[in-house]
Amino acid sequence: MDQDSHCTAERELLEAVSRITTFSTTSPSDKEENQPKTEISCQLRKENPEKDDLQDSNATLSPHSSMTTKELQEYWRKEKSQCKQVKLLFEIPSTRIVEHHLSKYVMYKIIILQTGSFDSNKSVIERRYSDFEKLHRNLLEEFSEEMEDVTFPKKTLTGNFTEEIINERKLAFKDYLRLLYSMKCIRRSKKFIDFLTRPELQEAYGCLRGGQYTKALEILLEVIGLQERLTRGNPVSIVPTLCAIVVCHKDLENPASAFEYGEKALSRLRVHSSHRYYIPLLETMITLAYELGKDFLSLQEKLEEWKTKKDPVRVFTLKELAVREYVQ
């Protein structure tokens, strides 16, 4: 390749990099293809707040950049992948029949994984027909118009446990979840997210209240990844789960791991100092930082700053808040 061609290739890559933050690379679902480019850009910023400086960093690039063509290509691929919206796939590969006292029902194994690459953090949950049925009723109450054309597999009087009926429902529930997830208003709704996470969270918090921290932590670590992918537009919503993980690690005498998850929770509360978990989390992080020999003075300053701005009120400890979650 001659020098002119090489320079032209670099210029084209630089132009592509500068454009990447204003165009969405996702498929035009949820009618997003009709949104103005500025709105799409804002949406990307909202869903990826940690990437807010992408556009500014791109603006510093110029045709005189010292980056090689290979480096520019790699940079362009990285920026493009960061603009892709997370998509989830639902698979129902198997079922099992449960007989409990006088009841008998089918449990459907649901695997939830992320598209775009091999997802090593896939989530696996189980739900029965009545769970799907309850979800459908709840969504109809709030999204009657959106659910107008959504069909739900009807219950039959006989044959519910035949292989034919079970296989039909496996396919039907898979399509049902895929269709619900394709509608933005529903996939971001609390009712849909609760269907996918609440039973596991209730079990985890029950274990936490019973002092079974190892079991609680195991469940919480399984569900947190799914919660993060389901609530990308609302990162504060997973703070209680992150704090429960902090409590478990702390009580299991794993201060380094507790501090790690505490930092993740604090980062989501950076502009939410009025959140009920903010002060208890700060107090716990100060204790952990001191124990680990880390900088605790900056955390102490934040705590003192908050106290000077707020009226003295009773604040629960982090553990007291955690054990109150999901109490029925």
| 133-162 pLDDT tens trace | 999 999 999 999 999 999 998 888 777 889
Asked whether residue 182 falls in the same domain as residue 210, the answer is no
Percent of the chain with pLDDT over 70: 71
Amino acid identity of residue 33, one-letter, is: E
Residue 181: inside a domain: yes
Strand partners of residue 115: none
Q: Which CATH number covers residue 299?
A: 1.25.40.10
| 8 Å CB contact between 133 and 173 | no
Query: Could you report the per-residue pLDDT of 46-93, keeping only the tens digit for each?
Result: 344 444 443 444 443 444 455 566 666 666 555 554 445 668 999 999
Residue 225: inside a domain: yes
Domain end among 162, 195, 228: 195
Residue 4: inside a domain: no
Average pLDDT over residues 249-270: 97
Query: Could you report the per-residue pLDDT of 279-295, keeping only the tens digit for each?
Result: 999 999 999 999 999 99
> Does the pLDDT of residue 4 top 60, yes or no?
no
Query: Based on the structure, what is the number of domains in the chain?
Result: 2
> For 214, which DSSP code?
H
Average pLDDT over residues 124-139: 96
Nearest partner of 73 among 145, 9, 8, 138, judged by Cα: 9
Residue whose token pair is 């979800």: 135
Domain end among 179, 195, 211: 195
| 8 Å CB contact between 174 and 92 | yes
Full residue range of the structural domain in which residue 161 is found: 87-195
Average pLDDT over residues 270-283: 93
Residue 24: inside a domain: no
Residue 59: inside a domain: no
| 8 Å CB contact between 204 and 220 | yes
* Stated pTM of the model: 0.73
pLDDT for 53 equals 40
